[in-house]
Structures are given as C-alpha cells and as structure tokens.
Chains A and B, each alone.
Chain A
Amino acid sequence: DVQLVGSGGGLVQPGRSLRLSCVGSGFTFGDYAMHWVRQVPGKGLEWVSGIGWRSGNIDYADSVKGRFTISRDDSENTLYLQMNSLRAGDTAFYYCAKAEGSYSGYLFDSWGQGILVTVSS
C-alpha cells in the first residue's frame, strides 16, 4: 500500500523558515510527480507546488512563488518543501500528495497526513 508520511511542521514566527518532508513507500517514488497542497482549517484545498518525474517540471502557486522551494530526493524517497519568509497567511495544514503519473494532466491519487504549520509571533 502507498504510504506518505509527512513531518517538519510546527509554530514559527513571521519571516522565519521551515522545511517540510514527506517520505513515500509502497511505490516506486521516482516514477511519479509529487505535490504539496495546503488547507486552512475549515477552508478549501489550495495547491501549493508540484514537482515532476526526475524534477523535470516544477511549478508554484502565485501565493508562494519566490518564497517556497520544492525538491525531491528519489534515493531517499523523500519530498521536501522549503518555506522561507513565512507569513500568517501561510498557516495551514500541508499535505503531500502523490500524482497518478509523471506530471502534467495527472493529479493526486494518494495523500499524506496533514502537517500543521502555524505562523505567529
């Protein structure tokens, strides 16, 4: 079975940085695109960033472009999200999600547990 286990969340002050990690198992990690999706408690889902097979494609939502960096280490089956210059509006649960295919056109077929990031002074 596919498993995605996220970590790295917590309480951080505005302007500071945080790095989220997501370890995948039960599938050939390097063969699939991976994404980060966030959700403010009680609100809808917002796609944050995606990275394709062998990091061939990388995209960001306008709301995080220039502040967040997505990366992957296929040898460690791990997806990362480096979040810099954090703002109160970045407070949310962050989900890592495995895509159904290599990138374009294929969306999420498995999700990790939510990682809570709270940005507050």
Chain B
Amino acid sequence: QSVLTQPPSASGIPGQSITISCSGSNSNIGTNYVYWYQQLPETAPKLVIYRGHQRPSGVPDRFSGSKSGTSASLTISDLRPEDEADYFCAAWDDGVHTPLIGGGTKLTVL
C-alpha cells in the first residue's frame, strides 16, 4: 500500500530549527516531486515548498525542503510562534497514479 508517513507531532522553541520528515517509497518520493503544505487553524492549506526544495514567492527563506532517496524533509529555521500549524507532505504516486498526502505533523512552538 502506498503511503507517506509523517510523525504526528513535533515541537520546538522560538529561534530553534526543526525538521519534519516524510517517508515514502520508490513509486512516490523516490521518483516524483515532493510538496509541503502549512495549514493554520481554521484555514485552507498553503503551499510552502514545491518540487522538493522550491519556495513560492512570499514564503520566508526560513523554510527549506530536501529529499534523500525515498524520504523528504521540511526544515524550519529560526522558529517563530506564527509557524505553529499542521504540516503535510504530498507526492504523486506512479503505482496508484494518484496523489498521496501524508498524515500531517502538528508543530507546536513552545
């Protein structure tokens, strides 16, 4: 079964760096672009990283993405209270020929 696995929660203090992982397989992360979304409470998701490491205009350079094999990571440096949100990874899966979305990671800024 094709799935993207994220840790359910993560936490950090202001100023710290935090990394959220997303584990997949050859049919998705291994061969396709990875996307990351931030969802603040009561709002629609917002794209923060596309094609693995690209940042849309307006997204601070504190947000960065990387990929190694069948895993991807989102790193937020200089953590700020406004970064507290749910973060989802996503990638196309060549096996099922549909998008896959990770279960999400709830980031708490202490």
Within 8 A of A (CB), among B22-56: 32-33, 35, 37, 39, 44-47, 50-51, 56
Task: Please tell me if the beta carbons of B99 and A110 are within 8 angstroms of each other in the complex.
Answer: no
Which residues in A have their C-beta under 8 angstroms from that of B45?
45, 95, 108, 111
Determine chain B's interface SS by DSSP, over half rule: strand
**Given contacts A59-B97, A95-B45, A107 and B90 within 8 Å (CB-CB):** yes
- Whether, in the assembled complex, B107 has its beta carbon less than 8 Å from a beta carbon of chain A, the answer is no
A-B contact count (CB 8 A): 60
Determine chain A's interface SS by DSSP, over half rule: strand
Chain A 100-120, CB-CB to B under 8 Å as 1, else 0, gives: 100011111111111000000
Tell which of A35, A45, A47, A106 touches B33, judged by Cβ atoms closer than 8 Å: A106
**Given contacts A44-B88, A45-B45, A107 and B33 within 8 Å (CB-CB):** yes
Q: Which residue of B lies closest to A47 (CB)?
A: B99
Chain B 97-110, CB-CB to A under 8 Å as 1, else 0, gives: 11111111000000
Q: How many residues of A contact B (CB 8 A)?
A: 22
**Given contacts A44-B104, A111-B46, A59 and B98 within 8 Å (CB-CB):** yes
Q: Which residue of A lies closest to B103 (CB)?
A: A44
Q: What are 30 contact pairs spanning A and B, CB under 8 A?
A: A37-B101, A44-B88, A44-B102, A45-B45, A45-B90, A45-B101, A45-B104, A47-B98, A47-B99, A47-B100, A95-B44, A95-B45, A105-B32, A105-B33, A106-B92, A107-B35, A107-B50, A107-B92, A107-B99, A108-B35, A108-B37, A108-B47, A108-B99, A109-B35, A109-B50, A109-B56, A111-B47, A112-B44, A113-B44, A114-B44
Within 8 A of B (CB), among A62-116: 95, 100, 104-114
A112–B43 Cα gap in the complex (Å)?
10
Which residues in B have their C-beta under 8 angstroms from that of A113?
44
